[in-house]
């Protein structure tokens, strides 16, 4: 049936319209939806009392008004629809299951009567919470712990399969259970540990190993077998190392200890108080309730868990580190006793805040400045600082904060924070760091080389003052004497080659090879025609490296702005856009209009003259640099004939051929490439 007037009114929340059309109560639209359902979908609680007769009705998919309310998180509607509690849709799914899938914790408390119900495939609400990573819902659903679906899967297994670490942490009491039927990916007898190994989740493997190691599926496979026989691509090194010596002795799974951790994750202070006997418990990865509370930002729980201050997990991380990494500013001062501690890699809380862009936390942890990592990690070698981590991960605010304290420090490879930013192409960080942290690493590499190798053109432009430098040692397969231009040629970055060519052409590495050789002797494949064409006539005469490429960049941007404004004014001045505004108006009004237009004309003429003067001045400033005054990007390398002015690059000279010289306006007859 089509939508009725009652349905339309209910969908709008039009109470008077609902009252006028109550004779249509009980009707359904083509999808089986009633007026009550449409009111619920819109959150119009005020309509429910007038549509009570429709309570209990279901649409074509078996959805009730209560299910719609739960799905949409309309908490005010739920108490008015309690008669529908326990009803399930065509797949056996309850309102509680839908509320949990969407993470509506407030709705869950109102639907607790549906706890324990399973859908047509045996799924429980807890399983859906685990699959979706709804850690905040798990403690409310603890009565379902241990239940299995039609294939024997538990909530813990779903958490392990989907990599939901904190959910798995709260469901460890289900450890040891095995599936009862074969599925598309797993044999019967599969454990949560096997699933985590198969899906490559090392942290979950570490959690489950003490409780499930040595168990075998129906084919005799252990978790180690699954780690080596997964169809998933990726680096399984961590998982395989954890299972390298998989034993057969298992410890009983924890019970009450999980309740303390669940309360810490959700910020349930009353739950924390009830389980204080378990303060100090560490799960197999070394995590404590305090670490979890800090990680989730529940500062109110910290005073009850203060006995755990100073404890470290298996990676050496403290509660303070977890708070810093996740930006939990309110927890930092409560955990200040842990300031100065380092994890197994030498990382501090400040470093973790810096790496993740948590400026507020970093400001509170400045007493940790100057520390350096002791192991390789986070994509950086040993000796990395908080400043380097911020630069590497493109957090310019933290770079500015830490620059005064750590600008002189280098990592174990002799690299500076500027090199980290240049390597990743983080232009905002490069601009901040350029003036303070230039230099070469232990192999003689520069930030310019890092940017060139990775094809970061804008960073290269800002770092041109480093052009001409050569590496001092063999590194990563490149001999000493390698230049940024050679690296750009090898890695096929034509735009970077074009920028660097005037400053580094003709330079040779320790094997006597130039950039041209690198472009022509590479096995990486791909279309290298542009790079080879640029280097086909590589010369030997080089321009001096520009000392302030940033100024040139800003000048170019400003001239572009002025030119755009200039064009706008010319259009204003010379357009004949005077429509018939005077038609039908008296002489006085026409006179006022003409006077106004004359004033505007004079004003625009003045602005036009000023802009022309400014534009000429900027071009004159550009003349004194080594940059082409046409494109303001490439170096001047071409003489215009017959006037003899050196003012353009070869590309622009070809474009302005048969026009006039930008300096003297003499007609251009020919051009000569100059090697200077």
Distance separating alpha carbons of residues 194 and 447, to the nearest angstrom: 45
**Distance (Å) of CA 344 to CA 336, 376, 411, 630:** 20, 11, 17, 56
Lowest mean pLDDT among 254-263, 268-277, 468-477, 665-674: 665-674
Stronger pLDDT, 443 or 190, i.e. the higher one:
190
- The per-residue pLDDT for range 58-73, each reduced to its tens digit, is 999 999 999 999 999 9
Phi, psi (deg, nearest 5) at residue 658 = 70, 10
Query: Per-residue pLDDT averaged across 380-394, rounded?
Result: 97
- The per-residue pLDDT for range 258-284, each reduced to its tens digit, is 889 999 999 999 999 999 999 999 999
Task: Evaluate if pTM is beyond 0.95.
Answer: no
Distance separating alpha carbons of residues 323 and 329, to the nearest angstrom: 7
Number of alpha carbons in the 13 Å side-chain half-sphere of residue 32: 11
- The per-residue pLDDT for range 311-329, each reduced to its tens digit, is 999 999 999 999 999 999 9
- The answer, yes or no, to whether residue 586 has pLDDT greater than 70, is no
Select from 402, 399, 463, 409 the least CA-distant residue to 432: 399
Peptide bond into 642 cis (omega under 30): yes
DSSP 302: G
Distance separating alpha carbons of residues 208 and 201, to the nearest angstrom: 11
Lowest mean pLDDT among 343-352, 387-396, 468-477, 559-568: 559-568
- The answer, yes or no, to whether residue 401 has pLDDT greater than 70, is yes
Distance separating alpha carbons of residues 421 and 427, to the nearest angstrom: 7
Question: What is the per-residue pLDDT for 662?
Answer: 76
Long-range contacts of 278-282 (CB under 8 A, 24+ apart): 279/304, 279/305, 279/307, 279/308, 280/307, 280/308, 280/311, 281/254, 281/257, 282/311, 282/313
If you average pLDDT over every residue of the chain, what do you get?
88
Task: Write out the H or E segment, with its range, that includes residue 671.
Answer: strand 670-673
- The answer, yes or no, to whether residue 641 has pLDDT greater than 80, is yes
One-character DSSP codes across 570-600: HHHHH-----STTTT--HHHHHHHHHHHHHH
Question: What is the per-residue pLDDT for 584?
Answer: 46
Instruction: Please give the span between the terminal C-alpha atoms of the chain, in angstroms, as a whole number.
Output: 85
Instruction: Assign 656 a pLDDT band (cuts: 50, 70, 90).
Output: confident
User: Which residues touch 351 (CB under 8 Å, ≥6 apart)?
Assistant: 368, 371, 373, 384, 385, 386, 389
Are the C-beta atoms of 310 and 276 separated by less than 8 Å? no
- The answer, yes or no, to whether residue 436 has pLDDT greater than 80, is no
- The per-residue pLDDT for range 180-231, each reduced to its tens digit, is 999 888 999 999 999 999 999 999 999 999 999 999 999 999 999 999 998 8
- The per-residue pLDDT for range 101-138, each reduced to its tens digit, is 999 999 999 999 999 999 999 999 999 999 999 999 99
- The per-residue pLDDT for range 173-185, each reduced to its tens digit, is 999 999 999 988 8
Distance separating alpha carbons of residues 443 and 412, to the nearest angstrom: 11
Three-state SS for 648? strand
Stronger pLDDT, 589 or 19, i.e. the higher one:
19
């Amino acid at each position: 049936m089509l939508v009725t007037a009652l349905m339309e009114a209910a969908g709008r929340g039009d109470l008077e319209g609902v009252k006028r059309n109550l004779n249509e109560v009980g009707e359904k639209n083509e999808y089986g939806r009633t007026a009550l359902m449409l009111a619920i979908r819109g959150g119009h609680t005020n309509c429910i009392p007038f549509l009570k007769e429709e309570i209990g009705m279901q649409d074509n998919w078996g959805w009730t008004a209560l299910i719609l309310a739960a799905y949409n998180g309309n908490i005010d509607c739920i108490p008015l629809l309690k008669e529908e509690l326990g009803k399930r849709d065509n797949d056996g799914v309850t309102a509680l299951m839908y509320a949990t899938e969407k993470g509506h914790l407030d709705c869950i408390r109102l639907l607790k009567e549906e706890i324990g119900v399973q859908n047509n495939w045996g799924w429980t609400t807890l399983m859906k919470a685990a699959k979706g990573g709804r850690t905040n819902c798990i403690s409310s659903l603890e009565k379902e712990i241990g239940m299995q679906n039609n294939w024997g899967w538990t909530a813990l297994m779903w958490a392990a399969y989907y990599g939901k670490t904190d959910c798995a942490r709260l469901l460890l009491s289900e450890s040891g259970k095995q599936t009862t039927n074969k599925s598309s990916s797993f044999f019967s007898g599969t454990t949560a540990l096997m699933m985590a190994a198969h899906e490559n989740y090392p942290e979950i493997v570490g959690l489950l190993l003490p409780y499930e190691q040595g168990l075998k599926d129906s084919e005799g496979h252990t978790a180690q077998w699954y780690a080596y026989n997964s169809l998933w691509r990726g680096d399984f090194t961590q998982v395989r190392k954890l299972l390298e010596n998989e034993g057969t002795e298992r410890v009983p799974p924890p019970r009450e200890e999980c309740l303390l951790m669940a309360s810490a994750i959700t910020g349930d202070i009353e739950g924390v108080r009830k389980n204080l006997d378990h303060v100090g418990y560490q799960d197999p990865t070394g995590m404590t309730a305090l670490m979890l509370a800090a990680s989730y930002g529940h500062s109110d729980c910290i005073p009850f868990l203060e006995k755990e201050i100073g404890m470290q997990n298996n990676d050496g991380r403290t509660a303070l580190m977890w708070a810093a990494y996740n930006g939990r500013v309110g927890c930092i001062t409560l955990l200040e006793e842990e300031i100065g501690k380092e994890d197994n890699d030498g990382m501090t809380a400040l470093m973790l805040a810096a790496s993740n862009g948590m400026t507020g936390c970093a400001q509170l942890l400045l007493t940790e400045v100057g520390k350096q990592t002791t192991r390789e990690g986070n994509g950086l070698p040993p000796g990395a600082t908080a400043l380097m981590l911020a630069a590497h991960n493109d957090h310019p605010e933290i770079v500015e904060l830490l620059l005064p304290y750590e600008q002189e420090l280098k990592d174990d490879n002799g690299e500076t924070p500027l090199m980290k930013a240049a390597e990743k192409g983080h232009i905002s960080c490069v601009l901040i760091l350029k003036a303070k942290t230039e230099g070469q690493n232990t192999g003689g590499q520069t930030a310019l080389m890092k940017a060139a190798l990775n094809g970061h053109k804008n960073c290269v432009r800002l770092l041109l003052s480093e052009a001409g430098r050569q590496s001092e040692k063999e590194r990563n397969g490149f001999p000493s004497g390698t230049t940024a231009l050679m690296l750009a040629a090898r890695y096929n970055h034509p735009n970077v080659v074009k920028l660097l060519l005037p400053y580094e052409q003709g330079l040779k590495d320790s094997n006597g090879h130039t950039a041209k050789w690198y472009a022509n002797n590479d096995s990486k494949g791909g279309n290298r025609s542009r790079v080879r064409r640029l280097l086909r006539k590589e010369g030997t005469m080089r321009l001096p490296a520009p000392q302030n490429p940033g100024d040139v960049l800003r000048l170019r941007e400003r001239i572009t702005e002025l030119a755009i404004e200039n064009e706008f004014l010319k259009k204003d001045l010379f357009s004949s856009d005077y429509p018939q505004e005077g038609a039908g108006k008296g002489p006085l009004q026409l006179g006022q209009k003409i006077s106004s237009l004359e004033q505007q004309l004079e004003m625009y003429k003045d602005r036009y003259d000023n802009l022309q003067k400014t534009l000429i001045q900027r071009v004159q400033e550009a003349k004194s640099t080594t940059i082409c005054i046409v494109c303001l990007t490439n170096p001047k390398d071409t003489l215009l004939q017959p006037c003899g002015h050196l003012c353009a690059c070869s590309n622009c000279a070809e474009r302005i051929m048969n026009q006039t010289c930008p300096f003297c306006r003499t007609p251009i007859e020919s051009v000569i490439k100059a090697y200077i």
